[in-house]
Structure 1
Amino acid sequence: MCRFIETIQVRDGELQNLTHHNRRMNETRRAVFGVSEQLDIREYTGNCPVDGIHKCRVIYDKEICEVAFSLYAMRPVHSLRLVYSDTVDYHYKSTDRKELEALHSLRGNQDDVLIVRNSLLTDTSIANVALEKEGVWYTPTTPLLKGTKRAWLLEQGVLTECNIPADEIYSYSHITLFNAMIDFGSLVLDINRDTVIHI
């Protein structure tokens, strides 16, 4: 049976953005398994670690199967390579990451990949992205995964959705990577031909 995952930031003992994590988990359970009962992750986590930033990893199918905590350290990313796949599918956050891992293996000397599907930018192998132009941050309309941090940032008006063709990437000045664990603006790259490799 396929299993799915929510990765939640725990900051000083508090689960962050839990509303969006619960929503995505329950929408996935309904779509994949036909389960309408709503679960609340908070009821399964017990006492969260209280000092610093931790990762809470929740594995589920119809029910929540496993909850684990680990200390978090952000993996540095200084460069990206554009890779192409019109068939990659990760619209549910599954524990099966074989397609993403295969694309990540194409990164060459770069730290991660920026995945292009149907000529449009989507995500890196681990994060949603936003690109800056003239002070406005734009995020791809059709990411591989609609992340929980992305949903919150859109609600707050921080991001604007738009289609970003891969061949227009150099018209933007910066790219930021973000997900549940990587705060928006904490991992930002200048966009140039040394940091973002377009082949």
Structure 2
Amino acid sequence: MSLLVETIKLKDGTFYNLDYHTKRFNRSRFELFGVKKEIDLKDVLQLSNFPTSGLFKTRIIYDEKIVKIEFEEYQIKHIEKLKMVVNNNITYPYKFLNRQAFETIKKKLSKNEEAIIVKNGFITDTTFSNLAFYDGQNWFTPNTYLLNGTKRQFYIDKKLLLESTITLHDLRKFLKVSLINTMLDIAEIEISTENILLSNQNSV
């Protein structure tokens, strides 16, 4: 089985959303390996030699136990367009370190493009984020996600994001889409739905 990874935002010495990350981390260890003893990631990270200035992506690589902790400087990707890519077989229920299915999809993209993965006619995620669609009043996120991201769940819990079934035909209802993950808040990457490529859909 592939190792797993928990990715956490670290900005100027502060770790973000740790309760959500700790919950997913321990749930994955229990469901995949039967480990009942929980680990508090806050305690683990406070003992690490973490940067105290700048924006970093923290990567906790683990299986039953933590294998290593890495800190990588982070810069937001420049994305101009989104392309629909159909993959009816893709699954990613846990945050595995092995991301081969996503890497295969990314090979089909041009520079400054990102994929919206469509599975059985339903919108899911991109290769590195969940999605939030804006209709002029509210933000909606697909309930057919591949991985329930911590930022996605945080926004749902705060009533800032509504779950909905979203198909290809529903895209006309929305004005723009935002990519969200542990490093990205709503509106940090926003793309008009006019810049979603619907034609020449690719299957992988």
* Band the TM-score falls in, shorter-chain normalisation: over 0.9
Which shifted more, 45-54 or 103-112?
Answer: 103-112
| Aligned twin of 1:12 | 12
| Aligned twin of 1:69 | 71
Give the percent of matched residue pairs that are identical in Structure 1 and Structure 2.
Answer: 30
Whole-angstrom distance in 2 between the partners of 1:76 and 1:131: 19
1:110 Cα offset (Å) = 5.4
Q: 1:154 aligns with which of 150, 156, 177?
A: 156
- Give the TM-score, by structure 1 length: 0.95
1:115 Cα offset (Å) = 0.2
1:107 Cα offset (Å) = 2.2
What's the RMSD between the two structures over aligned residues?
1.2
Whole-angstrom distance in 2 between the partners of 1:4 and 1:95: 5
**Once superposed, which parts of structure 1, at least 4 consecutive aligned residues long, lie more than 3 Å away?**
none
| Aligned twin of 2:202 | none
1:48 Cα offset (Å) = 2.5
Matched, 1:128 2:127: no
SS in 2 for 1:123: coil
SS in 2 for 1:24: helix
Note the 1:37-186 alignment, pairs <5 A. 37-45=37-45, 46-108=48-110, 111-186=113-188
| Aligned twin of 1:36 | 36
Runs of 5+ in structure 2 lacking a partner?
Answer: 200-204
- Give the TM-score, by structure 2 length: 0.92
Deviations, residues 92-146 of structure 1 (Å, cap 9, x unaligned): 0000101111122222465110000110101110110110113110000121110
Give the residue type in structure 2 aligned to 1:32: L
**Pair 109,9 (structure 1): closer, same or farther in 2 beyond 3 Å:** closer
- Report if the CA contact (8 A) 1:9-1:53 is conserved: yes
Whole-angstrom distance in 2 between the partners of 1:183 and 1:167: 26
Deviations, residues 133-174 of structure 1 (Å, cap 9, x unaligned): 131100001211100000100011110000000122122101
Q: Between Structure 1 and Structure 2, how many residues are aligned?
A: 197
- Report if the CA contact (8 A) 1:26-1:38 is conserved: yes
Give the residue type in structure 2 aligned to 1:19: D
